Amino acid sequence: MSTMEKAIGVGVNAWVWTSPFDRESVSLVAKAAAMGFDAFTVGVEDPDLIDVDALRGALAEHPMRLHISGVFGPNRDLTHEDSRYRKESLEYIKRTLEICGQLGVTTLVGPAYSAVGKRRKIPEEQRIREWELAVTGLTAAGKMAADFGVTMALEPLNRFETDLVNTAAQVKRMVQDIDLPSVKIHLDTFHMHIEEQSVYDAIVLAGEDLVYVDASESDRGTPGKGQVHWGEVARALRDIGYTGDCIIESFTPACEEIADAAAIWRPLAPSQDALAQDGCRFLKELLG
């Protein structure tokens, strides 16, 4: 790698160890830094639980890039037919953007277009309507994000978690429909392993709009231990000149609510620490 090239960073999501993220979870910053991670992602299930001062202090002591992930349950749905839920979703996004602003975070990621788990066989007319609602809501959210100096990165999910945006092609079209510089793309290798015919082609299609990557194994376990085509992932990221972070996203079965949402029914590694540490080592070698 030439001295002019920027290395791809390797990070970890706090969900590897805990959910929801609260004041006690702040100690994970030191753990992740000690493992050698370059970046750390916090999922904001409840904005009231985020201790901004404590988190800021931990990052000052253990410097890493921080990302924020939105969490979109049934009441946070920009495609809902009831405007009350669309409004609630935008209010949540605004509160999360405020947290980003307080912490100097410049990337808010996740499937902000709809509620996770919303998957149905519906008439095409309804799907078009819901797409339009998502675009309208995300246009408003994207304008708010720009005011905070934040880029929102939209994440396609697999068919078992959403019926709206499953592929890189779909999220690319959504980003083009929104047409704001503050709305870009977030890809996750777990979802891509299910939905994409070619992970290489999907990443190349996302291209310069790709600002965040979840480096998740096919079974949500340790990266490098499953069936994701990691060589193709690395080649594609290099070919598009990606200089962002690749974040290990997994979940612990000890947190019942999120384990149920992600269908984590058994341990995926000897320990969550081993999953993170071994994954960090694998990704550093792969992307270095």
Q: How many CB atoms within 10 Å of residue 122? A: 11
Nearest to 151 by CA among 190, 177, 112: 112
Q: Is 266 exposed, middle or buried (0-12, 13-18, 19+ CB in 10 A)?
A: exposed
Q: Is 228 helix (H, G, I), strand (E, B) or coil?
A: coil
CB proximity list for 68: less than 8 A, separation 6 or greater: 41, 42, 43, 44, 96, 99, 100, 103, 105, 107, 108, 109
Most distant CA pair in the chain, distance: 53
Quote the CA–CA distance of 83 and 79 in Å, as a whole number.
9
CA atoms within 13 A on the CB side of 10: 21
Six-digit token pair at 23?
């004041």
Which runs of consecutive H residues, i.e. helices, occur in the chain? 28-35, 52-61, 83-103, 124-147, 168-178, 189-195, 199-206, 230-239, 256-261, 272-287
Phi and psi of 225, rounded to 5°? -100, -5
Give the active site residue among 45, 155, 161, 196.
155
Nearest to 14 by CA among 3, 54, 37: 37
Indicate if 249 belongs to the active site: yes
Indicate if 5 belongs to the active site: no
Give the active site residue among 130, 195, 196, 249.
249
Quote the CA–CA distance of 126 and 46 in Å, as a whole number.
30
Catalytic residues: 155, 249
